[in-house]
Amino acid sequence: MNRRVIIFTIIAMTIALTGLMGIQFYWIRSASAIKEANFRRSVNEAMVKVVQKVERMERTKALAMNPFESVLNFKQHLPYDSILTLTELDSLIGLQLNIRGVDTRYEFCIYKPERQEFLMERTPSFRKDLIEKGNAYVLFQADIYTSPEYLLIYFPREKQFLLTELWGMLLISIILIIVIVTSFMYTIATIFRQKRLSEIKNDFINNMTHEFKTPISTISLACEALSDKDLRSSGEFLDSYLSMIQEENKRLAGMAEKILQTAVIDKGELKMKRELIDLHEIITDVIKNLKIQVEIKDGEIKRRLKASKSQIEGDKVHVTNLVYNLLDNANKYSPKRPMIRISTENVNNGIAMTIEDNGIGISKNEQKKIFDKLYRVPTGNIHEVRGFGLGLSYVKAIVEEHHGKISIESEANKGSKFRVFLPFVIKE
């Protein structure tokens, strides 16, 4: 997938995601407005019923007190304390609100604006809120002998109540938004991961082709030379070409084995032969094999094996490969006069092995990826070094199979230091 397609896909997905989220928020806002309108309507219906009930109670009381005077159309209503108590008015309001599903805290009062007088009130501390934010309903509109009086009601937790009514929709919306955003991020990450894997795969194929091509070409040339009757008659040349074929064949086998080992590790089928091995002996043998390659570059490998107890439980072949890969990398990535230091010491029921070089080093950003399979650092002169990018991933896998740990300290152009810890005993 090329860069333009990826960018177009990301832009399209971003627009689609933004649109979906916008629609979701619009639905939530519309639902909230509908809920608020229903709440207002329910409150209005309840309070109209309360006002009517109070007026009917007043007429009943007035009729009982003076039946002749109460039948007049224009009169002054009775005092509130003679009609009903504060508790009765509170119960009446609560009943009407509950009937209409308004189950939240409320405050109320009967207020006369002309004299700024509170004729009845539930909680004095809410006077300001009742006047500024409360809903007002006129009492006794037919009374022409007194100035208007209002029944005020205020809901301190109105917003919380409306949110509670919407919590189901809000919860589902939040979950859907989280799922969509998470899926979007995962998709984008997968696209970039696949692009990166594609690049790594291509690099691996190129490197593998180059690595295999050289020994194959050498063997081919040697075979052509051996087909010459004049050369075959010379025992010296015959032995030389046969030795060359054997060496290149070993090289091919080694590269194929390295690839196969990686496949085995990926499948989780790596089998280790546990035995008591001496790490110092392994280090010494590996140094002997690599010494010539280091000295050709006018370099040196220095040992400082301070571990008093050097025997550990492990697989000799894999531990040997582990040490070889780290030392070989230290040599390959030190272009001029490699100075390699390898040391050991006993720590925490095991051995800590440190391999330090004066090579090109690895930047902080690349250090997190160097143990990934097929990964090769794409900076500096590293691509001048042959390889598949399998060495360090194999090393890490072997260390983990031995229940050990591996870490790196490095800076670009200042060398690298690998520290490997291997326990004395592999615990199940």
| Helical packing angle, 316-332 and 391-401, nearest 10° | 140
First to last CA, the chain: 44
The domain limits of the chain are 3-156, 163-266, 275-423
Continuous H helices in 136-278: 158-226, 229-232, 235-266
% of the chain with per-residue pLDDT over 90: 25
Burial (CB count within 10 angstroms: exposed 0-12, middle 13-18, buried 19+), residue 258 = middle
Q: Identity (one letter) of the amino acid at 339?
A: M
Structure tokens at 424: 């004395």
Q: What is the DSSP string of 240-268?
A: HHHHHHHHHHHHHHHHHHHHHHHHHHHTT
Q: Confirm if 381 and 396 have CB atoms less than 8 A apart.
A: no
- Spatial distance between the Cα atoms of 196 and 194, rounded to a whole number of angstroms: 5
What average pLDDT does the chain have? 81
pLDDT tens-place string over residues 85-123? 899 999 999 999 999 988 899 999 999 988 888 999 988
The pair of three-digit structure tokens given for residue 202, joined into one six-digit string: 């291509």
Asked whether the predicted pLDDT for residue 236 surpasses 80, the reply is no
Which architecture characterizes domain 275-423 according to CATH? 2-Layer Sandwich (3.30)
pLDDT, tens digit, for every residue of 22-70?
Answer: 888 888 888 888 888 999 999 999 999 999 998 888 888 877 776 655 4
- Of 179-188, 329-338, 361-370, 379-388, the one with minimum mean pLDDT is 379-388
Please report the pLDDT score of residue 258 as a whole number.
66
- 163-266 and 275-423: identical CATH topology: no
How confident is the model over 377-406, as a mean pLDDT?
Answer: 69
Q: What pLDDT is recorded for position 383?
A: 45
Tokens of 239: 């032995």
- SS3 at position 126: helix
User: Is domain 163-266 given the CATH code 1.10.287.130 in the classification?
Assistant: yes
Radius of gyration of the chain (CA): 44
Nearest to 218 by CA among 262, 250, 266, 196: 250
Give the pLDDT confidence of 131-145 residue by residue, as tens digits. Answer: 999 999 999 887 777
Closest CA to 163 of 312, 356, 28: 28
Where is pLDDT greater, at 412 or 71?
412
Q: Which token pair is 132?
A: 């500024």
Full DSSP string of 402-425: TT-EEEEEE-TTS-EEEEEEEESS
% the chain with pLDDT above 70: 83
For residue 182, give every residue at least 6 positions away whose Cβ sits within 8 Å of its Cβ, in sequence order, or none: none
Contact partners, residue 166, CB within 8 Å, separation at least 6: 28, 31, 32, 35
Using DSSP, state whether 311 is helix, strand or coil.
strand
Q: What is the pLDDT of residues 198-234, one digit of tens each?
A: 776 766 666 666 667 767 777 887 787 777 766 666 6
pLDDT of residue 313: 93
Q: What is the largest CA-CA distance in the chain?
A: 151
